[in-house]
Amino acid sequence: MTTPQQSAVSRPPTVTDGTPAIRFAGVHKNYLAHGESVAAVKRTDLAIAQGEFFSLLGPSGCGKTTTMRMIAGFEEPTAGKVYLDGKDVTGVAPNKRDINMVFQSYALFPHLNTYQNVAFGLERKKVAKDEIKRRVGEILDIVSLTGMEKRAPREMSGGQQQRVALARALVNRPRALLLDEPLGALDLKLRQQMQVELKRIQREVGITFVYVTHDQGEALTMSDRIAVMNAGVIEQLGTPRDIYERPSTRFVAGFIGTSNIVEGTADRVENGLALLTYSQQDRVVVPCGSAVRAGDKIEVSVRPEKIDLHRGVPPVSATGASVLSGLVNEVVYHGTSTNYTVATAAGADFTVFDQNASNADDLADRGDRVYLTWAPQHSYLIGV
């Protein structure tokens, strides 16, 4: 494996004064569709730090690929500016931006072997042969392809071909690498392995990665920060933990993982907690600080893995846990957990992930009455 001293050679010169690697200032992009102007990206301000693994996450048509193409220079903003290392590159051609891209289609040259594919860009730049040999050997070591220099693409697995494409992009020492759903063609197990590999490679080479995906799991696994996009707008920007644990909009709560959302009126607010009651025994408690007053209509979300499912009436602790009764509509066994769909007294169907470690022989069945409980800190307000 490459030593820290060796991998440091691969790192491009970096800006160390806090200047973002990539910055959007009021970037807006319109397209013409059937004679009408359609906004693909809307008035976006964004700063991506040097050496950051940054993901653009969202459904098809949300604007994430257009955003990446504007970073690369393949699309020009209708309005606003794009900066790389503090320099305005709006209008600068893609081949002048010191940025490389890796696509879902690896686009390897089938008639060239691994070494030749990786060395191709350096040879075009007329880099000295000794320098090419050193840099190709170094990057193949980093992507764990040492010993496969003479293999043709057809002789390699999908994951190995993906690493060749990465090595070819990284050997040029770009200031940033853009990756447009590069793992989409791989099977699930290999995709999961490559997620870990990509993060390791990014740490070793120290280059800013900007990753486009619609897969929430990929973004959560690899990213330092994530921008969740919807209809051309960044709805939330933060760390994976922030976005998962505290989604700021209903869209983010529903798109990132699975969320249970209930609506109601705050009947009482005490000690920074709002209480929503649905019956004498059914209630939801949510931390609210000073953001909610009694009588306010609010939306509350809780993740499925935070909920405990009880087949009998649970004891309600003095801390004031949330309690909802309901009927089981669906039971799906997943091995490590059993997933329930429960029609609750709050008027919303809840999904519950119940771990099988201790109760694999005591599963609820469809039609059973159950009780769901969770601690106050596992509820969160949406849009407040």
The terminus-to-terminus CA distance of the chain in angstroms comes to: 48
SS3 of 270-290: the string is: ECCEEEEECCCCCEEEEECCC
C-alpha–C-alpha distance, residues 329 and 364, integer Å: 10
Query: Do 4-251 and 260-381 fold alike per CATH?
Result: no
Q: What is the pLDDT of residue 6?
A: 41
C-alpha–C-alpha distance, residues 256 and 244, integer Å: 6
For residue 13, what are its two tokens?
Answer: 């010169």
For residue 171, what are its two tokens?
Answer: 């050997």
The domain spans of the chain are 4-251, 260-381
With tokens 């504007």, the residue in question is 70
CA dihedral 285, 286, 291, 293 (to 10 degrees): -10
C-alpha–C-alpha distance, residues 275 and 320, integer Å: 9
Per CATH, the architecture of 260-381 is what? Beta Barrel (2.40)
Do the strands 99-103 and 176-180 form a parallel or antiparallel pair, or are they unpaired?
Answer: parallel
- The answer to whether 294 touches 267, Cβ cutoff 8 Å, is yes
Burial-class residue 300 by CB neighbours within 10 Å (0-12, 13-18, 19+). buried
From the centroid of its chain, how far is CA 378?
Answer: 22
For residue 29, what are its two tokens?
Answer: 């992009």
User: For residue 213, which amino acid is it?
Assistant: T
- Rounded to 10°, the helix 188-205/129-142 angle is 130
Residue 373: name the closest of 347, 344, 348 by CA: 344
Kindly list the averaged pLDDT for each block of 10 residues, start to end, along the chain of length 384.
41 69 97 89 96 95 95 96 96 92 84 94 91 93 91 90 89 91 80 87 92 92 96 96 92 92 94 93 92 94 94 70 95 89 96 77 85 94 83
Q: What is the pLDDT of residue 383?
A: 77
> Where do runs of H (alpha helix) occur along the chain?
4-10, 64-72, 114-124, 129-142, 158-170, 188-205, 216-222, 240-245, 250-255
Do the strands 208-213 and 53-57 form a parallel or antiparallel pair, or are they unpaired?
Answer: parallel
> Is 4-251 a domain of CATH 3.40.50.300?
yes
